[in-house]
Chains A and B, each alone.
Chain A
Amino acid sequence: MAVAVVAMATQRNLFGVVVLFSIYSFLMATVLFALDAVDVAMTEAAVGAGVSTVLLLGALYLTGGTEAKPLHRPLIPLALAIAVGALLAYGMLGLPAFSDPEAPIHAHVAPRYLGEGLKETGVPNIVTAVLASYRGYDTLGETVVIFTGGAGVIALLRRRRRNGS
C-alpha cells in the first residue's frame, strides 16, 4: 500500500494514478477483511475500487490525462502534512492497545449490543442489528446525506445542460 501511495504522489499520468488508486482500495479491502470487518471490506471493494474508479475515469475522459506542473514548490504544504502526521502519531500513543477488552469503546454499550442483540432483534449479524436497529437514526441520517449528495450533483450538472441547449 505504501508503494502504491508513493507511486501515486510522484506519478504525472492521471490514468496511472486512477489505476493505482483502485489497487490501493483493493489492498485496503483485503486489510479490512483480515481484520474481520467483512461488511466494510465489501463496501470498500465495491465503492472504492469499483464505482469511484469508473467515476474518476469518466472525469478523466472530460479533463484530459496529464497533471499540470505545480506553480510553486510544495515545501509549505509538505511541512504542514508532516506536522499534522506527527501530531496524529503522537495522539495514537494515547490510544489503548489494539483489541484491548478494557478499552473505553468496549466498555460502554458494546457489551449490551453483543449480549442482547440476538435476543432482542433476532438478527445474527450484529453489524446489521446495530446499523439498522440500535443506530437507526444515524443510518437514516446517512441515507439522507447520500440522497442530498446525489441531489446536489444532479442540480449542479443539470443546470449546465440547460444553459447549453
Chain B
Amino acid sequence: MKDDIILRVIAKLVMPFMLLFALYVQFHGDLGPGGGFQAGVIAAAAIVFYAIIFGLPAGRKLAPEWLVEKILAVGVLLYAGVGIAGLFLGGTYLDYFVLDADPVHGQHRGIFWVEVGVALTVSGTMLKLFYMFAGRGRDGEEL
C-alpha cells in the first residue's frame, strides 16, 4: 500500500493524533475512562497502522525491535518495582500510601507508575506479536 498517495497522506495526518490520544488516555485515566492497558493498545495500533501503510521496514525503523523487546520487559519490572519501592519505604508490597508524605498523593503516584508499566508491557507485546507475524515469510526467514 506504499504507493497510494491518499493513504500515505491520511496516515501521516492521523498518526500524531493517534499517539496523542494514547497519551491522553494514559495520563487522563485517573479522571476519565482509560488507563494503561487501553493506552498501550492504542499506541501499538498507531504504529501497526503506520507499518501497514508504509511497509514493515518503515515501522521497524520507527519502533525498532530491540526497543520493543526491552519495553516489554521493562513494563513488568516497573510494576514490580513500584511494589518493592513500597517495601523499602516501610509499607507492604504494592502499598502506595507510603510513596509520599500525603497518603492520597502517594496513591496517585503509585497508580501513575503502575499504569505506565502496564502500558509499556501491553504495547510492547502487541507490537512484537505484529512484527513476528508480519515478518514471517519475508526476509527469507521462513522455516
Interface residues of chain A, those whose CB is within 8 Å of chain B, are 38-39, 42-43, 46-47, 50-51, 54-55, 58-59, 61-62, 119-125, 127-129, 131-133, 136-137, 139-140, 142-144, 146-147, 149-151, 153-154, 157-158, 160-161, 163-165
State which size class the interface on B falls in.
Answer: 35 or more
Minimal beta-carbon separation of B34 from chain A (angstroms): 7
* Assembled-state Cα–Cα distance A29/B96 (Å): 32
* Assembled-state Cα–Cα distance A42/B48 (Å): 17
What are the residues of chain A within 8 A of B105 when measuring CB–CB?
122
A161 & B141 in contact (Cβ 8 Å cutoff): yes
A133 & B110 in contact (Cβ 8 Å cutoff): yes
B133 & A59 in contact (Cβ 8 Å cutoff): yes
CB contact under 8 A between A132 and B33, given known A62-B137, A150-B129: no
Interface residues of chain B, those whose CB is within 8 Å of chain A, are 25, 29-38, 41-42, 44-45, 48, 52, 69, 72-73, 75-76, 79-80, 83, 94, 96, 103-105, 107-108, 110-111, 114-115, 117-118, 121-122, 124-126, 128-130, 132-134, 136-137, 140-143
Partner of A165, one of B37, B38, B141: B141
Partner of B104, one of A43, A58, A122, A164: A122
A39 & B33 in contact (Cβ 8 Å cutoff): yes
Partner of A164, one of B42, B69, B143: B143
CB contact under 8 A between A132 and B114, given known A43-B41, A143-B75: yes
* Assembled-state Cα–Cα distance A150/B69 (Å): 9
Minimal beta-carbon separation of B33 from chain A (angstroms): 4
